[in-house]
Amino acid sequence: MATASAPAQPVGPLAGKIIVLDPGHGNHTGEHSAAGNWEDDNVLAIAKDTAPLLRAMGATVHLTRTGPNLLGSRNNGDLTARVAKATAWHADVFVSIHQNYVNGAPDVTGVETFWDNPNSRELAQDLQSALVAGTGMVNRGTRAWPYWVVACNPMPAVLIEGGFLSNVAQAARISTPAFYAQEAHAIASGLRTYLSTPGVPLGAVPLVGRNKYVCSTMNPVQANVWLTARGL
């Protein structure tokens, strides 16, 4: 009598790794260009292009959202839901994908990557290097800043700002399928570099110090006020 074969195990350089891609915003609550290109639409497309590249390398990939809507009430419910999902999925790493906007400085361009917990710094550096190499955009570097989805995330977590919608020329470029694919390949490359490096931080660890206090006693809006008042 024939027996059922065991399910095929994933193979590839990222086999066994769990990655969460977080397309920022939703419901057109993010930034938008003068031409009407919305950040949340662009970054969802980038995440959807990135996921199959990572799965082809053996990773398990989750998107915090796969449609146009926020995950909860704006700011508080939405941001806490993103971290909660990643934690429930037992993710090794979390990558939040955004596009930037700056008032009064239409010439600013480039890509930057934010981190907060020390266990996320190397992930930010590997992704930033891959994004600069893969897109050719101006290198604005990596910076520590306590955005909720990175400061209150127990796993290595970063937030990418991939170009400026406030810059007319750059907005036109970063709102195209060609760029979505380009950034997707760059993100996949950076994650492959990081996740293939022996000994790098992976998975959840308890929050400590300022992060533990803020994330356990405040909602995202309260935390932003508290942190901003202290210049953090």
Q: How far apart are CA 162 and CA 168, in angstroms?
A: 14
pLDDT digits (tens, 9 = 90+) for 173-207: 999 999 999 999 999 999 999 999 999 999 999 99
Domain positions in the chain are: 18-206
Query: DSSP readout, 163-211?
Result: EETTSHHHHHHHTSHHHHHHHHHHHHHHHHHHHTSTT---S-----HHH
Looking at residue 203, its pLDDT comes to: 98
| Pick from 181, 184, 177, 183: nearest CA to 37 | 177
pLDDT digits (tens, 9 = 90+) for 12-39: 999 999 999 999 999 999 999 999 999 9
Inter-residue contact 111 to 212 (CB < 8 Å) = no
**Mutual angle of helices 177-195 and 121-135, in 10-degree steps:** 140
Beta strands 60-63 and 157-164, pairing class: unpaired
Tell me which residues of the chain have a pLDDT lower than 70. 1-8
Cα 108 to the chain's mean position, in Å?
Answer: 21
Looking at residue 5, its pLDDT comes to: 61
Q: How far apart are CA 73 and CA 55, in angstroms?
A: 31
Taken as a whole, the chain contains a residue count of 232
Q: How far apart are CA 203 and CA 164, in angstroms?
A: 31
Give me the CATH topology for the region 18-206: Aminopeptidase (3.40.630)
- The reported pTM is 0.95
Looking at residue 8, its pLDDT comes to: 66
| Pick from 74, 15, 78, 82: nearest CA to 47 | 82
Q: How far apart are CA 113 and CA 20, in angstroms?
A: 16
Residues 6+ apart with CB under 8 A from 137: 109, 110, 111, 131, 162, 163, 170
